[in-house]
A and B are shown apart, each in its own frame.
Chain A
Amino acid sequence: MSLPSVAAEGTAGRLCALLFLLVCLAWQPAAGQEGGSVSVRSADSSLVDGVHRVDARLQYVLSKEALDALESGVPINVELEFQVIQNRRFWLDKVAAELSVNYQLLYNALSRRYVVRNRNTGEQDSYATLYSALNNLGRIISLPVIDEALLRDDRGHRIRMRAVVDVKDYPAALRLIAFWRDDWRITSDWYEWQLEP
Chain B
Amino acid sequence: MAARTLRRFLFTLLAGIGLLLALTALLLLSQTSQSSEQFDRLSGITLLVNAVGVVILIVLLIGNLARLVQDLRQHVPGAKLKGRMVAMFIGLAVLPLLLVYYFSAQFLNRGIDSWFTEDVEQGLEDALDLSRAALSVQMRTNLDLTVRYADRAERLSEAALVRELARMREDTGALEVTVFGPNSRIVATSFDRSRLAVPSPPSDEMLLQISQDRPYVSLDPLEEGGYQIRTAAPIVGDARTGGRYVLQALYPVTQRLSAMADNVGDSYTDYKRQLYLREPLKRTLTLTLTVVLLVSLLASIYGAFFFSRRLVAPIQQLVAGTRAVAAGDFDTQLPTPSKDEIGFLVSSFNDMTRRLATAREAARDSQAQVEAERANLEVILARLSTGVVSLEPDLRIRTANQAAGAILGVDLESRIGELLPQIAAGRPLLEQFVDVARVHLAAGETEWREQIVLRGEVGRRVLTCACTALPAEDGHTAGFVVVFDDITALLQAQRDAAWGEVARRLAHEIKNPLTPIQLSAERLRQKYLREMPPGEAQILDRATHTIVQQVEAMKEMVNAFSEYARAPDMDMTRFDLNRLVREVIDLYRAQDPEVDITLDLDPELPAIEADAGRVRQMLHNLARNAVEALEGQDDGRIDIITRAEEDSGARLATIVVEDNGPGFQAGPVEQVFDPYVTSKPKGTGLGLAIVKKLVEEHGGSIRAENRVSGGARIRIALPADEASREVMLASLPRRGERGDRRRERA
Report A's interface with B, CB cutoff 8 A: 1-4, 7-9, 11-12, 15-16, 19, 23, 68-69, 71-74, 108-111, 113, 115, 117, 122-129, 132, 136, 168-169, 171-179
Q: Is the CB of A127 within 8 A of B205?
A: yes
- B269 near A132: Cβ-Cβ < 8 Å: no
Indicate if the CB atoms of B205 and A129 lie closer than 8 Å: yes
A9 CA to B69 CA in the complex, in Å? 12
**Whole-angstrom distance from the CB of B674 to the nearest CB of chain A?**
80
10 A-B residue pairs with CB within 8 Å: A1-B77, A69-B276, A108-B269, A109-B268, A113-B220, A173-B277, A175-B32, A175-B36, A176-B43, A177-B284
Instruction: Determine which residue in A132, A169, A174 has the highest number of CB atoms from chain B within 10 A of its CB, and name it.
Output: A174
Could you say which of A74, A124, A136 contacts B273, with CB atoms under 8 Å apart? Answer: A74
Q: Is the CB–CB distance between A125 and B203 below 8 Å?
A: yes
Give B4's nearest chain A residue, CB to CB: A3
Docked-complex contact A115 and B221, CB < 8 angstroms: yes
Query: Inside 8 A of B588's CB, which chain A residues have their CB?
Result: none
- Bitwise, B54-79 to A at CB < 8 A (1) or not (0) is 01001100110011011100101100
- In the complex the two chains form, is B218's CB within 8 Å of A128's CB? yes
When chains A and B are docked, how far (Å) is the Cα of A172 from the Cα of B287?
Answer: 14
B155 at the interface (CB under 8 A from A): no
Q: Mark B210-228, 1 if CB is under 8 A from A, else 0.
A: 0000000011110100010
**How does the 8 Å CB contact mask read for B277-298 relative to A, with 1 for contact and 0 for none?**
1001101110110000000000
The answer to whether the Cβ of B704 comes within 8 Å of any Cβ in the partner chain is no
Sorted nearest first, the 3 A-B pairs with minimum C-beta distance are: A4-B70, A72-B276, A73-B269
For A173, give its contact among B33, B264, B275 (CB under 8 Å): B33
Bound complex: CA of A113 vs CA of B288, how far in Å?
36
B244 on the interface (CB 8 Å rule)? no
B40 at the interface (CB under 8 A from A): yes
Measured CA separation A40–B316 after assembly (Å): 71
The answer to whether A175 and B39 touch across the interface, beta carbons within 8 angstroms, is yes
| Residues of chain A within 8 A of B35, CB atoms compared | 172
Known: A110-B219, A110-B265, A126-B221. A12 touches B62 (CB 8 A): yes
Q: B275, A3: Cβ atoms under 8 Å?
A: no
| Docked pose: A108 CA to B4 CA in angstroms | 68
Contact in complex: A173, B281 (CB < 8 Å) = yes
Q: How far is the CA of A172 from the CA of B284 in the complex (A)?
A: 10
Nearest CB on A from B257, distance (A) = 11
Q: Given A1-B77, A110-B261, A173-B281, does the pair A73, B39 have CB atoms closer than 8 Å?
A: no
Enumerate chain A residues within 8 angstroms of B32, measured Cβ to Cβ.
172, 175
Interface centre among A132, A173, A177 (most CB of B within 10 A): A173
Residues A179 and B47 in contact in the complex (CB < 8 Å), given A8-B66, A109-B265, A173-B285: yes
* CA of A169 to CA of B40, assembled, Å: 10
| A132 contacts B205, C-beta separation under 8 Å | yes
How many residues of B are counted as interface, with CB atoms below 8 angstroms from the partner's CB atoms? 57
With A16-B59, A19-B62 known to touch, is A169 a contact of B269 (CB < 8 Å)?
Answer: no
Query: Whole-angstrom distance between the alpha carbons of A15 and B269 in the complex?
Result: 50
Cβ B66 vs Cβ A12 within 8 A: yes
Q: Shortest Cβ distance from A64 into chain B, in angstroms? A: 13
Tell me the bound Cα distance from A145 to B35 in angstroms.
34
A2 contacts across to B, CB distance below 8 A: 74, 76
Q: Are B221 and A4 in touch, CB under 8 angstroms?
A: no
Q: A108 CA to B62 CA in the complex, in Å?
A: 54
Q: Is the CB of A126 within 8 A of B74?
A: no
Chain B, residue nearest A27 (CB): B51
The answer to whether A23 touches B55 (Cβ under 8 A) is yes
Chain A residues positioned under 8 Å from B264 (CB to CB): 110
Given A16-B62, A110-B268, A127-B205, A169–B273 Cβ distance below 8 Å?
A: no
Query: Smallest Cβ distance from B637 to chain A, in angstroms?
Result: 82
Interface contact B221-A123, CB-CB below 8 Å: no
> Is B34 positioned at the interface, with any CB of A under 8 Å from its CB?
yes
- What would 10 more interface pairs be, CB under 8 Å, given A19-B58, A113-B221? A72-B272, A73-B269, A74-B277, A110-B227, A171-B281, A172-B35, A173-B277, A174-B281, A176-B284, A179-B43
| Distance of A117 from chain B, by nearest CB (Å) | 7
From B33, B71, B276, B320, A73 is in contact (CB under 8 Å) with: B276
Contact with A along B121-158 (1 / 0, CB 8 A): 00000001001100100000000000000000000000
Residues on B with beta carbons closer than 8 Å to the beta carbon of A123:
223
Cβ B265 vs Cβ A108 within 8 A: yes
List A contacts of B223 (CB < 8 A).
117, 122-124
Does B270 make an interface contact (CB < 8 A)? Answer: yes
Please report the C-alpha to C-alpha distance between residue A94 and residue B229 in the assembled complex, in whole angstroms. 49
Could you tell me the distance in whole angstroms from the C-beta of A122 to the nearest C-beta in chain B? 6
Chain A residues with Cβ below 8 Å from B284 are 173-177
Min C-beta distance of B512 to chain A, whole Å: 100
Do residues A110 and B132 form an inter-chain contact, with CB atoms below 8 A?
A: yes
User: A127, A128, A176: which has the most chain B beta carbons within 10 Å?
Assistant: A176
Residues from chain B with Cβ under 8 Å of A71 in the complex: 272
A27 to B287, CA, bound (A): 16
Interface centre among B36, B51, B264 (most CB of A within 10 A): B36
Given the complex of chains A and B, what is the CA–CA distance between A71 and B273 in angstroms?
A: 9
Min C-beta distance of A139 to chain B, whole Å: 10
A115→B225 CA distance, assembly (Å): 12
Contact, CB under 8 Å: B269 / A177: no
A1 contact from B67, B128, B275, B320, Cβ within 8 A = B320
From A11, which residue of chain B is reached at the shortest CB distance? B66
Using Cβ atoms and an 8 Å threshold, which residues of chain A touch B205?
127-129, 132
Inter-chain CA distance A179–B287, complex, in Å, is 13
Residue of B at shortest CB range from A178? Answer: B280
Decide yes or no: A177 and B219 within 8 Å by CB, A16-B62, A109-B128 being known contacts.
no
Q: Specify which chain B residues have a CB less than 8 angstroms from the CB of A124 in the assembled complex.
A: 221, 223
Cβ B66 vs Cβ A177 within 8 A: no
Interface centre among B71, B223, B227 (most CB of A within 10 A): B223
